């Protein structure tokens, strides 16, 4: 048998086998690609909603557990705070005298009058002014946004030592106040003549007096 004849007879067979193998490989690849596409489809439409809902529920449970723990701590702290408050309840009056529930205009003016009297200054004029905590014109930062305040201003002739005494008395008084601008200047001769005393200085000050606002009590 001629070898060329054998090659010419087996060549189409080998080519057929090769093509068949390639087809099989292609089919396998398509099968794998389709399998992954199906997995992706199920992941989107079946696994994703389930996973999202389950994780959401677990998150809710965890947050509730956290809140329960925090609230238990809070309740314990409130009980401790109640006990502590009961121990110092009789001293609440001290807090009230420092930071009253209402403006207490009379007591604040009285405080200034008595402090002035003790410093041998005769106060004959006091000005009350109201500002809002949320007032944009107010350049100063409020101590606490829950606190209400009003200002008292005065201007008086006196000597230097009584003025210093008066300011130190105000600073050592129990009522919470902030002394804002204190101006001391020489009294003009016209002023001196008009006042009976020989006071050489004119001083003016403005102070802010704080109190708890009713809105704060409701909380």
Partner 1 sequence: MKKNKLASYFVFISIFTVITILIYIIQRSYDNLMKPVNTAKTSILSKPIDPNLDIETLDLIEEKKEYLP
**Binding residues vs partner 1 (CB under 8 A):** 22, 25-26, 29-30, 32-37, 39-40, 43-44, 47-48, 51-52, 54-56, 58-60, 62-64, 66-67, 70-71, 73-74, 77-78, 80-81, 84-85, 88, 91, 94-95, 97-98, 106-107, 110-111, 114-115, 169, 172-175
Nearer to partner 1, 11 or 64 (CB): 64
CB of 41 to partner 1, least distance (A): 9
What residues form DSSP beta bridges with 148?
A: 211
CB of 188 to partner 1, least distance (A): 32
Decide: 179 and 191 in contact? Cβ < 8 Å. Answer: no
Nearer to partner 1, 162 or 199 (CB): 162
Task: Dig out the tokens for 68 from the structure.
Answer: 């329960």
CB of 70 to partner 1, least distance (A): 4
10 Å Cβ neighbour count for 209? 24
Task: Dig out the tokens for 184 from the structure.
Answer: 């001391």
Nearer to partner 1, 115 or 121 (CB): 115
Task: Dig out the tokens for 203 from the structure.
Answer: 């001083």
Nearer to partner 1, 163 or 177 (CB): 177
Q: Which helix (H) or strand (E) holds 200?
A: none
| Phi and psi, residue 202, nearest 5° | -115, 125
Task: Dig out the tokens for 146 from the structure.
Answer: 């829950």
Q: Look-up: residue for tokens 């606190």?
A: 147
Nearer to partner 1, 97 or 151 (CB): 97
- How does 162-182 read in b/e, with b if 16+ C-beta sit within 10 Å? bbebbbebbeebebbbeeeee
CB of 105 to partner 1, least distance (A): 11
CB of 150 to partner 1, least distance (A): 17
């Amino acid at each position: 048998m001629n070898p060329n004849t054998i090659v010419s007879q087996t060549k189409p067979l080998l080519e057929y086998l090769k093509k068949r193998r390639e087809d099989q490989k292609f089919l396998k690849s398509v099968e794998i690609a389709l399998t992954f596409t199906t997995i992706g489809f199920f992941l989107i439409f079946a696994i994703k909603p389930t996973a999202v809902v389950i994780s959401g529920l677990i998150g809710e449970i965890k947050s509730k557990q956290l809140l329960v723990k925090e609230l238990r701590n809070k309740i314990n702290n409130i009980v401790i705070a109640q006990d502590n408050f009961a121990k110092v309840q009789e001293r609440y009056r001290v807090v009230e005298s420092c930071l009253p529930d209402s403006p207490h205009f009379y007591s604040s003016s009285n405080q200034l009058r008595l402090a002035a009297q003790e410093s041998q200054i005769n106060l004959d004029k006091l000005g009350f002014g109201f500002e809002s905590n949320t007032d944009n014109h107010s350049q100063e930062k409020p101590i606490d946004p829950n606190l209400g305040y009003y200002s008292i201003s005065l201007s008086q002739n006196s000597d230097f030592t009584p003025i210093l005494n008066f300011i130190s008395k105000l600073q050592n008084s129990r009522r919470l106040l902030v002394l804002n601008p204190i101006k001391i200047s020489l009294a003009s001769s016209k002023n001196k003549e008009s006042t009976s005393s020989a006071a050489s200085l004119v001083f003016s000050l403005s102070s802010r007096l704080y109190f708890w606002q009713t809105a704060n009590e409701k909380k």
